[in-house]
Structure 1
Amino acid sequence: MNSTDLSVLKSAVEWLQSGQSVAIATVVQTWGSAPRPVGSWLAIRADGQVAGSVSGGCVEDDLIRRVQTEILTRNTPEMVVYGVTQQEAARFGLPCGGTLRLLVEPKPELAVLEQLLENISSHQITRRSVSLSTGKSTLTLGNRSDEFVCTEQEMQTTYGPRWRMVIIGAGQLSLYTADFALASDFEVIVIDPREEYAEGLNRTDITFSKGMPDDVLLEIGVDSHTAVVALTHDPKLDDMALMEALKSPAFYVGALGSRKNTQKRKERLLEFDVSEEQVEKLHGPVGLYIGALTPPEIAVSILAEVIAVKHGISVPKKV
């Protein structure tokens, strides 16, 4: 589960705090064209109220019934499988014979979920381990590279913003881009040493740094789960940041500017300690071409391109 499931976690915590019985279902394995990915979360209340989804609506009705009549009466997690046969897949609306394996926890621990909610709200990456034999869970420090694990003994899931976007510049376009990035489950860091922009940035959901962009990138340690987007239109700031970003494992590096300016920027970067192969990693002009004109539209195009690259979708070259 990523932090986009924050609303599901909040609902589960609120329901448990009010004394209601709640079960939590997690997608632990899929085959074929199952409609929801591993780690997807669903909270089910004893009266049938739900938050979240594990199948996009295909199996939820049957799962709610099973939770109400069977699972909530138990003390330990239960593995539930849908779509084992073509007939079952058709019955539950799973596309192309898809199969869904769910771990349902009938007695999630309120104290653990409250701590998890606090950690996610403060952008901490947290790993939750659940014992399948007892239902007890523990929280430990997570890592961006953690993988989902489910064995016969334990389920381990990492929660929180495992993807990060670093935005160079704190102008209007940057803030729109930050908003869309936050909505897409990115942790957002904005870097801008210019006082005139720093004064207007008072956001608790964004980490802001007044340092020089290249220095800050080195300090935070850019990894393969990080996207770097340079949006100041000031070569003194953008180019220095891009020099470090292009040499890093960042999965995406983009910069604002026309095709002509992008070509000039690449030529400048080649004069420094940046190889031709590294320079070719630069996405510029930043964003997919969708005819965007306004800052919000450009921000949408930027996030669209970042998400495409994140999921391994090829994007057309622009220069």
Structure 2
Amino acid sequence: MDNIDLNIWRQVALWSAAGHRVVLGTITRTWGSAPRPPGSAVAIRDDGLVAGSVSGGCIEDDLVDKAREGVLAEGVPKVVRYGIDADAAHRFGLPCGGLIELVLEPVLPRTRVDELLDRLARGERARRVLTLASGEVELQPATETDELELTDTTLTTHHGPHWRLILIGAGQMTQYLAQMATALGYQVIVNDPREEYAEGFEVPGATLLRTMPDDTVTALKPDGHTAVIALTHDPKLDDLALMEALASDAFYVGAIGSRVNQAKRKERLAEHFGMTPEQLARLHGPVGLKNGARTPPEIAVSILAELTAVRYGYRIPEPVVVKGAAAVEAGCVS
């Protein structure tokens, strides 16, 4: 399951190889309640086909009309704005006073689509610098700062996974979690030294490591863009990973298991590994939002939902079971 960035670039490559004219639109700035954040992209083919999104449909409709008229994928990149006044805001479905700024870039050999696509397919990150006056592109190694930047002369964007997810354990749920996390733009690293689980484990785009969990986490040096989740139910493996993760800068550290097991886990980490109360307070568990999830794919959804909330600074309150819900009536939720 590929992430949005990779899907768009693959579509651009296919359309260009088939002889179509293509233009790539990238949101560079927004004001007001814009539907998509800066960095969101859309590709428009000369016959009006669309990949990606910058507005949920309203601006895309205008771009499609221009593409069909043959006036979109021409010349050099240009900066355009939508929704700058009340009439335009109403026309394009933006809140009054809202504004979306785009760079529209004709896709040509100088765009270096295939080279970027090769890097993304390998799970790498890349810094892409577009010169507005000529349309020339330079691909550079990614840097620690991955902010989009538009100047009078260049547009700098970053591509590839901006977040890392380290999963301890290669069980069934890890399969679902790794696939979904890849789609959300995570670089997924699965760690399991157990032959019976690691043998045969394969998720496209995910890396499997067979080293011991504490060595793995130490070597990967979790930073503020890294999450670590222990999924084995085996204290000999999970506790080792959590010990190192809780002492790191990881933005999220979690472990699967019941509330009772979570309490026992914290006792072990404090007693045997000297973890402080402040470190233990960072441990999410039972991992994931409490939404009644029971099956492995449902639990994977709940985990990624919690990761998303933490990334954006949201705290989700304890849930309330709604009487009359279909799953409750069927006895699926306790």
What is the TM-score of this pair, normalised by structure 2? 0.90
Amino acid aligned to 2:291: I
Pick closer, same or farther for the CA change 1:316–1:213 going to 2, 3 Å: farther
SS across alignment from 1:59? helix
Pick closer, same or farther for the CA change 1:108–1:257 going to 2, 3 Å: same
Amino acid aligned to 2:305: A
Shift of residue 309 of structure 1? 0.8
Q: How is 1:215-234 mapped onto 2 (pairs within 5 angstroms)?
A: 215-234=215-234
Q: Structure 1 stretch 193-202 or stretch 206-215: which is displaced more?
A: 193-202
Shift of residue 65 of structure 1? 2.9
Aligned to 2:287: 286
Given that residues 90 and 97 in structure 1 are in contact (C-alpha distance below 8 angstroms), is that contact kept between their aligned partners in structure 2? no
1:197, 1:260 → 2: CA distance?
Answer: 26
- Per-residue displacement from partner, 1:107-159 (whole Å, max 9, x unpaired)? 44366110111110110001110011111111011135411111111100000
Amino acid aligned to 1:246: L
Pick closer, same or farther for the CA change 1:110–1:154 going to 2, 3 Å: closer
Given that residues 165 and 187 in structure 2 are in contact (C-alpha distance below 8 angstroms), is that contact kept between their aligned partners in structure 1? yes
> Which portions of structure 1, spanning 4 or more consecutive aligned residues, are displaced by more than 6 angstroms?
none
Amino acid aligned to 2:278: E
Amino acid aligned to 1:281: R
Aligned to 2:50: 50
Q: Structure 1 stretch 141-150 or stretch 121-130: which is displaced more?
A: 141-150
Aligned to 2:325: none
2:176, 2:18 → 1: CA distance?
Answer: 37
Aligned to 2:314: 313
- Per-residue displacement from partner, 1:258-310 (whole Å, max 9, x unpaired)? 11111121122223242211110000111111111122211111111111111
SS across alignment from 2:80? strand
Q: Structure 1 stretch 291-300 or stretch 161-170: which is displaced more?
A: 291-300
1:66, 1:107 → 2: CA distance?
Answer: 15
2:291, 2:202 → 1: CA distance?
Answer: 31
Aligned to 1:66: 66
Shift of residue 316 of structure 1? 4.2
Given that residues 24 and 108 in structure 1 are in contact (C-alpha distance below 8 angstroms), is that contact kept between their aligned partners in structure 2? no
Paired-residue identity, %: 50
Amino acid aligned to 2:259: R
Pick closer, same or farther for the CA change 1:59–1:245 going to 2, 3 Å: same
Q: Which runs of 5+ in 1 are unaligned?
A: none
Aligned to 1:259: 259
Amino acid aligned to 2:288: G
Aligned to 2:105: 105
Q: How is 1:107-122 mapped onto 2 (pairs within 5 angstroms)?
A: 107-109=107-109, 112-122=112-122
Aligned CA RMSD, in angstroms, stands at: 1.8
Amino acid aligned to 2:41: W
1:53, 1:281 → 2: CA distance?
Answer: 36
Amino acid aligned to 2:311: K
Shift of residue 219 of structure 1? 1.0
Aligned to 1:301: 302
Aligned to 2:32: 32
1:294, 1:45 → 2: CA distance?
Answer: 40
Aligned to 1:150: 150
Pick closer, same or farther for the CA change 1:49–1:202 going to 2, 3 Å: closer
What is the TM-score of this pair, normalised by structure 1? 0.94
Aligned to 1:202: 202
Aligned to 2:82: 82
Amino acid aligned to 2:289: L
SS across alignment from 2:43? strand
